[in-house]
Amino acid sequence: MRKCRVPFTRCLGLLPLLAWTGCLHVPAGRVTMDRMDYGQVIAESWKRQTLLNVVRLRYADAPVFLDVASVINTYSLSGTVSAGGSVSNGQLGDAVSMGAGGAWSNTPTVTYQPLMGDRFTKSLLQPIPPAAVMQLMQGGWPTDLVLKTVVRSINGLRNDSLGVGGDPGFLELVEALSRLQRGGGLGNRVEARKDGSAVILVLRRESRGSGPLEDARRVGELLGLEEGASEIEVVYGFAPRNSHEVAMVTRSMLEIILNLGTGIDLPAGGAANSRVLLGLRQAGEEAAVPLVHIRSGAAAPDPCRHRAG
């Protein structure tokens, strides 16, 4: 009986294949790539959905919000190696066969959830709490942006609303509060009380030049506060109960979207559409300054050109 062996040099060809299968793994960079891509797409879709709902409400149509509830992306990577050999007593000689294979699978699962029912009511129809307004300002958001967007009135001073100009005192109040915020003279704190928590507006009146002192004094005059008051309780309502209180009527998200819609440039003939909400302004009333300016056209603008401008 003849004993034959496959040459050792041919067996060495299996080593690279075995090493390849042993190194199979999902590249770490893939996680970063997918995370950024999904985040960018979700952010862009939110902006487009919000803009679409602004236009829908401008045309008296019902808004529709669809949340991206979850994004689950599953990676699967597998590999196989096979080898075989044969020994021949003839002239054909010995033979060795080798093979390798791999499979890659990327399975994303995106779950959508419509905003409706009780969640719709709480998210869109309930007014934003005054505490949230103060916290936005405390967190560094510009006072003029927050108050002009979220607040309907403060101590009876009316903001612009649905195309109708507000009281001149409201704009003066916002400008004075904005200067105080930039100078570090505006803040708030939350106090725990038996009947719940209370939000306290703090006006710093230390002498740091005539500007901050004059702004704090003017804020007190516009709001009808007691002279020299530096800590004022903020509540929800149209009128304050005393000279140490600020009553704030805030908007709901639906009202904010309606106000954003007044800044849409209607296409030619669009104002004649019976469905278009043209605002509440009557003859002789001053027009409001739109919060945003939304242009209309047959094609989307070039984003690169928009940023450059």
pLDDT in tens, 7-25: 545 554 544 544 444 555 6
For residue 232, count CB atoms less than 10 angstroms from its CB and return exposed for 0-12, middle for 13-18, buried for 19 or more.
buried
Q: pLDDT band at residue 4, thresholds of 50, 70 and 90?
A: very low
Please give the share of the chain, as a percent, with pLDDT higher than 70.
71
Tell me the pLDDT tens digit for each residue of 67-105: 888 888 877 766 665 555 555 555 555 565 666 666 667
Q: How far is CA 78 from the centre of its chain?
A: 39
The whole-number pLDDT of residue 25 equals 62
For residue 225, count CB atoms less than 10 angstroms from its CB and return exposed for 0-12, middle for 13-18, buried for 19 or more.
buried
Tell me the pLDDT tens digit for each residue of 39-56: 899 999 999 999 999 988
Task: State the Cα–Cα distance between residues 286 and 277, nearest whole angstrom.
Answer: 18
pLDDT at 140 over 70: yes
The one-letter amino acid code at 262 reads T
Cβ(253)–Cβ(281) below 8 Å: no
The average confidence (pLDDT) of the chain is 79
3-class SS at 252? coil
Nearest one of 258, 261, 226, 223 to 239, comparing CA atoms: 223
Q: pLDDT band at residue 6, thresholds of 50, 70 and 90?
A: very low
Task: State the Cα–Cα distance between residues 12 and 307, nearest whole angstrom.
Answer: 59
Q: Is the dihedral of CA 210, 216, 217, 218 positive or negative?
A: positive
Rounded to two decimals, the pTM is: 0.72
